[in-house]
Amino acid sequence: MVLKKGRFIIEDLENVQINIGNITGAEVEEEEKEKEKKEAHGPTISPGIHGLRDWDRRLLGRYEPVYSPICDLCCYCTYGKCDLTGNKEGACGINMEAHQAREAMVRTITGASAHAGHGRHLLHYLIERFGADHPIDVGPSNIKAPNTQTVLGIRPETIGDFIPVLNYVEEQITQLIATAHAGQEGSALDFDSKALHAGMLDHVGMEVSDIIQISCLGFPKSDENAPLAEIGMGLIDSKKPVLLVIGHNVAAVTYIIDYVEENELIDKIEVVGLCCTAIDMTRYNISAKIVGSMAKQLKYIRSGIPDVIVVDEQCIRGDVLKEASKLHIPVIATNDKIMYNLPDRSNDDINSIMDDLVSGSQPGVLLFDFDKIGELAPELTLKMAPIRKEKGYTALPDDEEFKRLTSSCSRCGACVIACPQGLDIDVAMSDAAGGDLTLFEILHDKCVGCGRCEEECPKGIPVLDVIEKAAQKVIREEKGKVRIGRGQIGDPEIREEGRNLVLGTTPGIVAIVGCPNYPDGSRDIYDIAEEMLKRSFIVVTSGCSAMDIGMFRNEDGKTLYERFGGRFLKGNLLNVGSCVSNAHITATTIKVASIFAGRNIDGNYEEIADYVLCRIGAVGLAWGAFSQKALSIGTGCNRMGIPVILGPHGPKYRRAYIGNPYDPEKWNILDARDGSSHLMEPAPEHLLISAETKDEALPMLAKLCFRPGDNSLGRMIKLTHYIELNEKYLGELPDDWHVYVRSEADLPLAKKEMLLKILEQEHGWEIDWKKKKIIKGPFRRPDVSFQPTNVPRLCKGASV
């Protein structure tokens, strides 16, 4: 018998368990496995920082980094501050370009670390609770961990198999952050390659996090019919005791939910969540409710409705404790990422902790013992509710105070200048003083709840509270539904739809992801999703975007999740889950390459990313991206060959990857059949870019689904949507539509004649009108056997 790493239980010896870790036999076996893998698999098993540098350079050669400094100074070391304006060099020799690339890289690494740290925390906990040999179960799939397999060449079967995966991610993150130390890397391009590496690592870290929680916590497993959860401030019964959880790491919250259920408190207490913990909590137990996205944090706390707040990690405001204690809401911090200078009470008796919190002698506690959290949080909520409700704690002004506050506004505009959205708060104040709340009701959805306005008001007006008070009528109507996170796309779904996607008959996957720093309110992403769904795109969503999409209803009172199916099929809307579930989006493209195209994915990142870039019309939209995590998710998509559009706040990330369609040198592609080089249409045109408005983003989404591998039917369908969306939202034919025409078969049927005329008259193409055929014009003809690639070694006859 060969001894393997794992856990043995010896029969008849109760409570005796032998854990086998790194014993020599197991090591030898591992080494043999590694050797086998290296022989049979792709060239980059667990690539180091430079392992995929060639691929990055191919991407960055076509999609040039465009830097937009948010600050012209560098204050990174004690030589500084250095003024780098105009691409000058600082004292260490770094110039503005490289510094900006470094800044963006550091943020990408930060995002990747947040997910990897989350994954490591969960992995420790789940291994302790379920054992390292707990099997992975993500639903009906043989490819269980596509990102892991593609990056590391590992095919995990148990949650313990993810230990070396996270070891790798963590090692790489350490190496990457080391390069940010002043006085070494001087190349912007190499910083960008490193950022792309961090983005790729992020998708592995996210994948680990979500797969292990799906496998252990009973989350939906590739379930197209995952149930609908309730979402919205208007749905929460504030008469009941309300327990609010905020964050991203659901581990502790599961204990709370179990306790509530076991003690039959479900009808007595409202367990509600904000941000991704809320999403994952409903994946664990559908009885939980979602308040909403990150933007609702301060607003909801200020409402005074929560009786207790539990925080875990990631996108949580730094002032939760301060704000909560003003309203006598005790805070329980459960994760060492956020400790708010609170005392660690993990070893104390629950009753004594409870007493201190109820009396207010401590505004909050740090508690790492999940069993205690599970009991304390609901019991404390039951105790706090009558006390708090009797006192009527809320930050919102009453009617009289509201009048006084709005009338005291001097319209100085300081709040407007402070507001990241530049909202017309001053005008709304004077309207409200005159009794008209309309503008405030509109601003409520556009306001991202940051509180910057209040910091500046010389009259001390609590602006956010005034907005929220004014918008009470609207808030009461905030009632939506969201299909809870379904997890991965299953192999059978890929088998069914992969072909349509690659050939283009399903026009594309639009992934609407990321945070709620929207430029013009959350309704935009609902509108975008609806438009693309009606056009048969597959819309995939996650995190805060998934929540906000569910906040709006049509005239029949139905949300998009009720109107569109949840299967991986054209015209379906799929919520994959929380932030960490974004890994399933890149995973989907990997699966298509493997299942539909039969590509070997193990340790074969470059080939797979090349396939995705050339063939799979997938595009991301991070319309309200604000966090470092959103940047790393997007950057990971970019390395995998998936373009991403950001909202107008996006350039604050400091760099984009933009294609220059007029430069023929950038758009050469190889035919893998013989290695010949061909000029191609700019498809996709950009890798990372921003748009100013949703009306601009919509045609861009369709355009970024073009791929050089489209067949004629697919190209015709994609071109139809691009043209129609451009006409609808920008009022005319796009001026580059002809670039995507390779033959008459690519032309939208309904407009064929008209478009042929334009090609002849405006672009000088030669048309055979009898046959309605293009004789001369396009720089490339469609060829069904064409095998586009950007990687010379993948061409026939190439010396590898």
Partner 1 sequence: MAQKTVDTTKRAVPFDKANVPGPKMAKPVKAELAGKIISKAKRPLLIVGTPGADTGLPEIIKTFNSKSIPVAATGSCLKALKQADVEATYVNLHALVSYLKDPKWKGFDGNGNYDTAIFIGHTYYYASQLMSTLKNFTTVKVISIDRHYHPNAQMSFGNLNDDDFRTALKIVAAQL
Q: Which is nearer to partner 1, 349 or 663 (CB)?
A: 663
Dist CA 706 CA 759 (whole Å): 20
Give me 153's structure tokens: 């060449």
Q: Which is nearer to ligand SF4, 413 or 661 (CB)?
A: 413
Q: Which is nearer to partner 1, 564 or 657 (CB)?
A: 657
- What string of DSSP letters covers 378-447? HHHHHHHHHHHHHHT--SS--HHHHHHHHHH-----HHHHH-TT---HHHHHHHHHTT--HHHHHHHHH-
In a 3-state reduction of DSSP, which class is residue 146? helix
Pairing of strands 688-690, 644-646: parallel
Residues 6+ away with beta carbon under 8 Å from 598? none
Q: Which is nearer to ligand SF4, 430 or 600 (CB)?
A: 430
Q: Which is nearer to partner 1, 300 or 722 (CB)?
A: 722
Q: Which is nearer to partner 1, 337 or 649 (CB)?
A: 649
Residues 274 and 294: beta-carbon distance below 8 Å: yes
Segment lying near partner 1 (by CB under 8 A), choices 2-10, 341-349, 441-449, 653-661: 653-661
Q: Give me the least distance between CB of 579 and partner 1, in Å please.
A: 24
Dist CA 11 CA 422 (whole Å): 69
Q: Which is nearer to partner 1, 39 or 735 (CB)?
A: 735
Which of 180, 695, 743, 782 touches partner 1 by CB under 8 A?
A: 695
Does 662 engage in binding with partner 1 (CB under 8 A)?
yes
Q: Give me the least distance between CB of 508 and partner 1, in Å please.
A: 19
Q: Which is nearer to ligand SF4, 266 or 427 (CB)?
A: 427
How many residues are present in the chain?
A: 800
Residues 6+ away with beta carbon under 8 Å from 422? 416
Residue the block writes with tokens 């540098």: 53
Q: Give me the least distance between CB of 656 and partner 1, in Å please.
A: 6
Does 394 engage in binding with partner 1 (CB under 8 A)?
no
Residues 6+ away with beta carbon under 8 Å from 606? 42, 43, 44, 52, 54, 55, 791
Count of residues touching partner 1 (by CB under 8 A): 46
> What does the H/E/C string look like for 246-288?
ECCCCHHHHHHHHHHHHCCCCCCCEEEEECHHHHHHHHHCCCC
- What string of DSSP letters covers 482-540? EEPP--SPPHHHHHHHHHHHHHTSS--EEEE-S-S--SS-THHHHHHHHHHHHTT-EEE
Which of 29, 87, 342, 382 touches partner 1 by CB under 8 A?
A: 87
Q: Which is nearer to ligand SF4, 392 or 458 (CB)?
A: 458
Q: Give me the least distance between CB of 293 and ligand SF4, in Å please.
A: 14
Dist CA 764 CA 745 (whole Å): 18
Q: Give me the least distance between CB of 429 and ligand SF4, in Å please.
A: 5
CA distances from 230 to 305, 433, 487, 528, 547 (A): 17, 35, 19, 22, 10
Q: Which is nearer to partner 1, 302 or 686 (CB)?
A: 686
What's the N-to-C CA distance of the chain in angstroms? 40
Which of 20, 71, 679, 713 touches partner 1 by CB under 8 A?
A: 71
Residues 717-736 touching partner 1, rule: CB under 8 A, are 729-732, 734-735
92 binds, among partner 1, ligand SF4, none (CB under 5 to 8 A by kind): ligand SF4
70 binds, among ligand SF4, partner 1, none (CB under 5 to 8 A by kind): partner 1
Half-sphere exposure of 476 (CA within 13 A, CB side): 5
Does 349 engage in binding with partner 1 (CB under 8 A)?
no
Report which residue type is found at 648: P
CA distances from 232 to 39, 253, 257, 411, 527 (A): 53, 20, 19, 32, 18
Dist CA 46 CA 38 (whole Å): 11
Q: List residues bridging with 689 in a β-sheet.
A: 645
Q: Which is nearer to ligand SF4, 409 or 525 (CB)?
A: 409
E strand or H helix at 189: helix 188-217
Dist CA 530 CA 696 (whole Å): 16
Segment lying near partner 1 (by CB under 8 A), choices 125-133, 284-292, 302-310, 649-657: 649-657
Which of 26, 49, 73, 597 touches partner 1 by CB under 8 A?
A: 73
Give me 338's structure tokens: 């956020």
336 binds, among partner 1, ligand SF4, none (CB under 5 to 8 A by kind): none
Residue 434 burial (10 A CB sphere; 0-12, 13-18, 19+) = exposed
- What string of DSSP letters covers 295-333? GGHHHHHHHT--SEEEE-SSS--TTHHHHHHHTT--EEE
What does the binding site for ligand SF4 look like in residue numbers (CB under 6 A)? 74-77, 79-80, 82, 90-92, 94, 182, 409-415, 418-421, 423, 425-426, 429, 447-453, 456-457, 459, 461, 463-464
Does 66 engage in binding with partner 1 (CB under 8 A)?
yes
Give the x/- contact pattern for partner 1 in 412-441, rule: CB under 8 A: -----xx-x-x-------------------
691 binds, among partner 1, ligand SF4, none (CB under 5 to 8 A by kind): partner 1
Segment lying near partner 1 (by CB under 8 A), choices 37-45, 64-72, 576-584, 629-637: 64-72
126 binds, among partner 1, ligand SF4, none (CB under 5 to 8 A by kind): none
731 binds, among ligand SF4, partner 1, none (CB under 5 to 8 A by kind): partner 1
Give the x/- contact pattern for partner 1 in 435-474, rule: CB under 8 A: ---------------------x------------------
Which residue ranges make up the site for partner 1 (CB under 8 A)?
A: 64, 66-73, 83-87, 96-97, 417-418, 420, 422, 456, 519, 648-649, 651-652, 656, 658, 660, 662-663, 686, 689-693, 695-696, 700, 729-732, 734-735
